[in-house]
A and B are shown apart, each in its own frame.
Chain A
Amino acid sequence: MANTLKEAPRLEPLPRIASAAIIEDGRYLPPPADGDGQTWVRTSTLIQSTPEECYRLWRDLPNVPRWQELMKEVRVTGPNTSHWVMEVNGKTMEWDSEILKDEPGKRIAWRSTGGSPQNAGEVIFDTAAGGRGTIVTILQEFGFGRVSSATATVLSRNPKQAVIENLRHFKALVETGEIPTIQGQSHGPRGVSGKLKASLYGEHVPTPRGDLQRAS
């Protein structure tokens, strides 16, 4: 149809499949809805870098705490396995993770193999149309339902929001070499209402340190 309206053919071939199978023969189709009651999130961002460069930073597991919130340590335990340690409100959470699919510059899929929180996910690096850099898409599922998700929201960060924020931090780190923050800046007395608002806005979750980790 598009071609019937134009004399010149399209410059780029029509994509058949995109990040999360959302374009098929030119039609947008949402990924299958999440019906199993588990906490599920899909998010994407545009990064001014190559898929290879984005993949390289994402795959650099020991450096993940530089850009993922509350992540204390990621230890590589084998060619496709790793051990993750998170600290939430002084409480340590640990799990093992296994990479199921590893396509350099394209895609990484993983699942946890023990510990908590149980999670599985996929990150996809796609060249954006028109030379606009890389579209990074995450699909992630956590092995808990609404109640645990709500509890986490009150105590620290909503798990879905955490995935979204981590992708935002990742983008900032790739594009600028740092993660923006206002934590530690000057201010007057916050009082009860100020502290409550700061907590509501998610400002109590420590910003990952970005490249400063490397400097210190």
Chain B
Amino acid sequence: MKAVCWMGKNKLETLQVPDPKILNPHDAILQITRTAICGSDLHLFDGFIPTMESGDILGHEFMGIVEETGPEVKNLKRGDRVVVPFTIACGNCLFCQKQLWSACDNTNPNAHLMETMYGYSGSGLFGYSHMMGGYAGGQAQYVRVPFANVGPLKIESDLPDEKVLFLSDIFPTGYMAAENADIKEGDTVAVWGCGPVGLFAIASAFLLGAGRVIAIDRFPERLAFARGIGAVTIDYTQPDVSVLTAIKDLTGGIGPDGAIDCVGLESHFNDLQGVYDKIKTALFMETDRPGVLRQAIQAVRKGGTLSIPGVYGGMLDKVPFGAAFGKGINMKMGQTHMHRYMKPLLERIEKGQIDPSTLISHRITLDQAPEMYKVWRDKKERVTKIVIDPWATKVA
């Protein structure tokens, strides 16, 4: 089959690789019908996430048709159409029982790597480094899905793939981000980063009752999108714009009740702190560039809640923890507990409350994927979301 392989930092190739096989009793093999590139895949492309091996198949947002099931998979049969959550969960450990699915104890074959870095290991993820399990991802024509008895969501309606594909990650991730911001009716919420997760967080904040959403980004097409779903936007690159002042202007000086960091470890700042983080990460003295995190801690109101769906990986410098303590803020973060959200969010799509497919700006083939990573990373061609048809030979 064809698959997008990570061959080193800034080096991706679409290659012929062997088809996946059933390896464990709860495995299933899917023929992938649609898959997507996630903003967090760009962290892998840029070499920010350690423990990648050359030859790794990327991709954790995918859906498809069940091709084959292992002997212990009773809930699926050949021909079923399913969306697969990017976090893999066993369903039986203490954490799965507590619905903390992305903290599953049993799905990371390389748990010891994550234990060394984080104290304990989270669940395995598709296509997201060996520390996170090393599972082959879904930017391919077929994929092996472990614990298929627990994760995949069957799509029984005739909704097109593109409307349900984002249940695999970004829609639940944006939704949990909004839920983690503890939004009450009428709250003001500020969202940093208007990529797909940011846009879903904005839409979800409104679904959860936010009165005003403030969206922060620098790309006109993303800001236009955010305004389209009802947000007030701040372009932080415009002359005379200070994000902190703008947020005070928009909240009567008290700051937002909720702040959501949808940017994560590769934030871009052109000021002194941006230079500081660039130098320190280049010298391996810091692993992440936490500019947005610093700003969000500063911006959120006293007693407010900071929600962090943006990915952080390692050691962060100069995080104003005194401000966080001084204002008594709450912080919630982490990989999405996917299995909690997929079904309720599918219902919202079925009822027509939201159409995730409107985010898609590019439809491409597997062969075009390596080039499109670059295009998206460099924010060219007004990309909002790239979807891959792994069986297409030319652009539809």
Residues of A within 8 A of B (CB): 46, 48, 132-133, 161, 164-165, 168, 171-172, 175-191, 193-194, 197-198, 201-203, 207, 210-212, 215
B residues 269-300 with Cβ under 8 Å of A? none
Q: State in angstroms the CA–CA spacing of A25 and B258 once bound together.
A: 45
Cβ A176 vs Cβ B90 within 8 A: yes
- Does B108 interact with chain A (Cβ within 8 Å)? yes
Residues of B within 8 A of A (CB): 1, 3, 5, 7-8, 13, 15, 17-21, 23-26, 51, 53-57, 71-72, 90-94, 97, 105-113, 124, 130, 133-136, 140, 142, 144, 146-147
B105 — which chain A residues lie within 8 A by C-beta? 171, 175
B140 — which chain A residues lie within 8 A by C-beta? 186
Task: Identify 5 new A-B residue pairs, CB closer than 8 A, beyond the known A185-B20, A201-B130.
Answer: A177-B25, A186-B18, A186-B19, A188-B13, A188-B17
B19 — which chain A residues lie within 8 A by C-beta? 186
A168 — which chain B residues lie within 8 A by C-beta? 111-112
Known: A181-B109, A215-B25. A189 touches B54 (CB 8 A): yes
A189 — which chain B residues lie within 8 A by C-beta? 5, 7, 15, 54-55
Known: A187-B56, A194-B54. A180 touches B25 (CB 8 A): no
Cβ B24 vs Cβ A185 within 8 A: no
Cβ A185 vs Cβ B5 within 8 A: no
Interface of A is mostly: loop
Cβ A180 vs Cβ B136 within 8 A: no
Cβ B94 vs Cβ A132 within 8 A: yes
**Cβ contact of A207, chosen from B90, B106, B109, cutoff 8 A:** B109
**Cβ contact of A176, chosen from B5, B15, B23, B106, cutoff 8 A:** B106
* 24 A-B pairs (CB sep. < 8 Å): A48-B94, A165-B112, A171-B105, A175-B106, A176-B92, A176-B147, A180-B106, A182-B134, A186-B1, A186-B19, A186-B140, A186-B144, A187-B17, A187-B55, A187-B57, A193-B53, A194-B53, A194-B54, A198-B130, A201-B110, A203-B134, A207-B109, A210-B25, A212-B25
Q: State in angstroms the CA–CA spacing of A212 and B5 once bound together.
A: 30
| Nearest Cβ on chain A to B197's Cβ, whole angstroms | 27
Closest 10 pairs (CB-CB, A-B): A188-B5, A188-B55, A194-B54, A194-B53, A187-B55, A190-B55, A172-B106, A175-B92, A178-B24, A176-B90
Cβ A186 vs Cβ B94 within 8 A: no
B18 — which chain A residues lie within 8 A by C-beta? 186
| Closest partner residue, chain B, to A196 (CB atom) | B53
Cβ B23 vs Cβ A183 within 8 A: yes
A172 — which chain B residues lie within 8 A by C-beta? 90, 106
**Cβ contact of A210, chosen from B24, B110, B135, B147, cutoff 8 A:** B24
Cβ A184 vs Cβ B21 within 8 A: yes
Known: A172-B106, A188-B7, A203-B130. A178 touches B54 (CB 8 A): no
| Nearest Cβ on chain A to B177's Cβ, whole angstroms | 28
B5 — which chain A residues lie within 8 A by C-beta? 187-189
Cβ B130 vs Cβ A197 within 8 A: yes
B13 — which chain A residues lie within 8 A by C-beta? 188
Q: State in angstroms the CA–CA spacing of A46 and B54 once bound together.
A: 35
| Closest partner residue, chain B, to A197 (CB atom) | B53
Cβ B133 vs Cβ A182 within 8 A: yes
A184 — which chain B residues lie within 8 A by C-beta? 21, 23
A181 — which chain B residues lie within 8 A by C-beta? 23-24, 109
| Nearest Cβ on chain B to A138's Cβ, whole angstroms | 15
B56 — which chain A residues lie within 8 A by C-beta? 187-188
Known: A175-B90, A180-B106, A186-B140. A212 touches B57 (CB 8 A): no
Interface centre among A46, A178, A212 (most CB of B within 10 A): A178
Q: State in angstroms the CA–CA spacing of A172 and B24 once bound together.
A: 12
Known: A182-B135, A187-B136. A202 touches B144 (CB 8 A): no
**Cβ contact of B57, chosen from A133, A177, A186, A215, cutoff 8 A:** A186
Q: State in angstroms the CA–CA spacing of A163 and B111 once bound together.
A: 14
B135 — which chain A residues lie within 8 A by C-beta? 182, 185
Q: State in angstroms the CA–CA spacing of A187 and B280 once bound together.
A: 33
B25 — which chain A residues lie within 8 A by C-beta? 177-178, 210-212, 215
Q: State in angstroms the CA–CA spacing of A46 and B135 once bound together.
A: 25
Q: State in angstroms the CA–CA spacing of A188 and B7 once bound together.
A: 8
B90 — which chain A residues lie within 8 A by C-beta? 172, 175-176
Q: State in angstroms the CA–CA spacing of A25 and B94 once bound together.
A: 28
| Nearest Cβ on chain B to A184's Cβ, whole angstroms | 5
| Closest partner residue, chain B, to A161 (CB atom) | B112
Cβ B51 vs Cβ A201 within 8 A: yes
A203 — which chain B residues lie within 8 A by C-beta? 109-110, 130, 134
Q: State in angstroms the CA–CA spacing of A132 and B94 once bound together.
A: 7
| Closest partner residue, chain B, to A214 (CB atom) | B25
Q: State in angstroms the CA–CA spacing of A180 and B72 once bound together.
A: 14
Known: A181-B24, A187-B5. A164 touches B106 (CB 8 A): no
A133 — which chain B residues lie within 8 A by C-beta? 94
